Structure 1
Amino acid sequence: MSDADRLHELLGLPAVDFQRETEGTTRPPAAAAAWRISVDPYHPDYDDSSWEAEFNAFLEAVDPSQVEALIIGQWGESYEETSAYPIGLVVAAADRLTSLRAVFVGDLVAEEAEISWIEQSDVTALLNAFPGLTHLGVRGGTALIFPPVKHGSLQGLVVESGGLPAEALRGILGSELPALERLELWLGVSSYGGDVVVPDLAPLLTGTRFPRLRHLGLRNSELQNEIAAAIGSAPVVAQLRTLDLSNGTLGDEGAAALLEGQPLTHLASLDLHHHFLTVPMERRVAEALEPHGVSVDLSGRCEPWDDRGPEGRYTAVAE
């Protein structure tokens, strides 16, 4: 499974595709599934209102007051219609979706739309409409808007992108999210809109922004070495249990900076998969941490490509 594959679960619930016609099958109880609402824009019966019709059928077929997790899949031609369309419909149904705790926006795979083709929007509309939401996930950084928001319940935030806009990052880090325990950001590459630079991460790295944070993922970045160096001296690391720096362009220099910084032996796990470390550096990382009980993922060692970015290194996900 690739890192931008179809969601298999959300909030610990199995992902289930809602289908209007269920002849010969039985739907699970509303609270027992993460319901994915998706349409095929190439189906002969498709029109611009198809996702709305599918969502309305879902609200009638499944008790919406019991639904805890919702996955917004393909809502049409994603590069023509932004996620404001399905988000607006979900927000309008907030008085019926009274148990909703998790939403993922943009569960599209490459066959439907490359990650950087997905047109997002202001996803904080979901946080404003659902004060009890504990988990929010977003796939796609194009047109992503995330103004600073106050939300007392959000525990997990994931933004998967081939290029994360710095303005969206600033909004996330400017938000008041006192319950946030897990933050995962795919920073991406500049050629697909990822204009975040390491100083933009400063409010996060101080450790004061999100005091309950226990998992941090700064992934899929062409700046992975610089990020690793910054993590080496970042106060936030002391409060973490798990750290994920995978899917980027991490090389020996970044890994060395990480090891030469503050101790990481308190971590339960360190994920570095998809990396450009040499075998001796892989061994050095493992020998420094694994004897202390840290689970280290060093899988997916990559070889540089001549036609890729600096030194031939590349992120796992871009376009």
Structure 2
Amino acid sequence: MGVYQHLEEYVGLPVITFNEDTDVAETGEGDGEGDGHGAGGDPLPPAGEVAWSVGTSFDEEAFGDVFARFLRTVDTAEVTALIIGYWGASYDSGAADPVALLTEVAGSFPKLRALFLGDITGEESEISWIEHSDITPLFAAFPDLERFEVRGAQGLGLDPIKSDRLKVLRFESGGLPAGVVRAVGASELPNLEHLDLWLGEDNYGGDATVADLAPFLGGERLPALRHLGLEDSEIQDEIAAAVAGAPVVARLESLSLAMGVLTDQGAEALLAGQPLTHLRELDLHHHFLSDAMVERVRAALPGVQVNLDDQEKPDGDWHYIAVSE
């Protein structure tokens, strides 16, 4: 999943985009039927058979207006997967708060199970410029969510949450605030299987420390966790050293320390720590390992699918994460 192209598939469903260019003959307006047709007369696909992406573009139709048209046109009672694209920014007259809009109409989405907040490409907004609000209300408004993902972290707020349904939780950012990391760590998510945190760098608000990761590494609060991603970090070596002795690793099926400033020091700590041979996948792509260390890692994990793509070279003394601004 990249940050420079829109999703074409989500939770196994093809993505249908509903934006300022969507020209539909709206039928059932106001009666909840939502059986809109395209401008050429072709009916829109059944609402529950696709993932719907709703967004606008800079200086085009206001996101709130696009979203209102979507509600009138599509039978949202059948929607299971929703993607929120560009909704504007503080310098855009059409800016909106998607959290407020979604929570206000949560009852219109009784079958919603997957939500991606911020499928916004670099051309629309750099990842660290995406402006958020407190996302905590979404989890109360949509208690049956099984998958939640968010891109961007400027202004992002989160309090500890409780959910017996959530299985996948992902944060994509160039700098994830420590407060958000700590809130996730304090949450009650007994059935969470997949967790990804793009921690980013301090210049863009990524101020979490290894100590903030203790709840994830201990694993007690996440008994069902099978995939852990602690990625895109400027302290990737410190994270690798902590992971090397972390109790949670023994029950993981996949581990990602990708996209960050991983050097031979961090890889050495991993190899000297607990066995990783039980893993199905180890993702270390975008790294600063030497050729010799790359070979050592491969040789030490013959039965593991190890991703060591994107071997980077430092610019002098400067090592860089994959996604920042």
Whichever residue aligns with residue 197 of structure 1, its letter is T
Q: Secondary structure at the match of 1:59?
A: helix
Question: Aligned partners of 1:30, 1:205: CA distance in 2, in Å?
Answer: 39
- The TM-score, its normalising length taken from structure 1, stands at 0.92
Question: Aligned partners of 2:271, 2:93: CA distance in 1, in Å?
Answer: 45
Q: CA deviation at 1:59?
A: 1.6
2:9 is the counterpart of 1:14:
no
Question: Aligned partners of 1:161, 1:299: CA distance in 2, in Å?
Answer: 21
Cα contact 1:163–1:188 (8 A) shared by 2: yes
Pick from 20, 23, 33 the counterpart of residue 39 of structure 2.
23
Q: Name the CA shift for 1:269/1:150 in 2 (closer, same or farther; >3 Å).
A: same
Pick from 302, 313, 318 the counterpart of residue 303 of structure 1.
313
- The TM-score, its normalising length taken from structure 2, stands at 0.91
Pick from 141, 164, 177 the counterpart of residue 129 of structure 1.
141
Q: CA deviation at 1:221?
A: 0.3
Q: CA deviation at 1:6?
A: 2.1
Q: CA deviation at 1:23?
A: 2.2
Pick from 202, 210, 216 the counterpart of residue 204 of structure 1.
216
Whichever residue aligns with residue 16 of structure 2, its letter is V
Write the mapping of 1:102-181 to structure 2, written as runs, cut at 5 A: 102-181=114-193
Cα contact 2:63–2:96 (8 A) shared by 1: no
Whichever residue aligns with residue 320 of structure 2, its letter is Y
Question: Aligned partners of 1:32, 1:79: CA distance in 2, in Å?
Answer: 36
Which range is displaced more, 1-10 or 96-105? 1-10
Aligned-pair identity in percent equals 50
Deviations 1:27-52 (A, max 9, x none): 22111211111111223xx3xxx212
Match of 2:298?
Answer: 286
Cα contact 2:4–2:123 (8 A) shared by 1: no
Q: Secondary structure at the match of 2:250?
A: helix
Question: Aligned partners of 1:179, 1:271: CA distance in 2, in Å?
Answer: 23
Q: Name the CA shift for 1:85/1:41 in 2 (closer, same or farther; >3 Å).
A: same
Question: Aligned partners of 2:95, 2:298: CA distance in 1, in Å?
Answer: 42
Match of 2:247?
Answer: 235
Q: Secondary structure at the match of 1:227?
A: helix
Match of 2:261?
Answer: 249
Whichever residue aligns with residue 294 of structure 1, its letter is V
Structure 1, gaps ≥5 residues long? none
Match of 2:324?
Answer: 318
Deviations 1:124-165 (A, max 9, x none): 211110111000101011111110111111100000110010
Cα contact 1:134–1:155 (8 A) shared by 2: yes
Cα contact 2:59–2:92 (8 A) shared by 1: no
Write the mapping of 1:71-90 to structure 2, written as runs, cut at 5 A: 71-77=83-89, 85-90=97-102
Pick from 289, 304, 308 the counterpart of residue 277 of structure 1.
289
Q: CA deviation at 1:78?
A: 5.9
Q: Secondary structure at the match of 1:312?
A: coil
Question: Aligned partners of 2:292, 2:127: CA distance in 1, in Å?
Answer: 34
2:55 is the counterpart of 1:38:
yes
Q: CA deviation at 1:16?
A: 1.6
Structure 2, gaps ≥5 residues long? 25-37
Cα contact 1:127–1:133 (8 A) shared by 2: yes
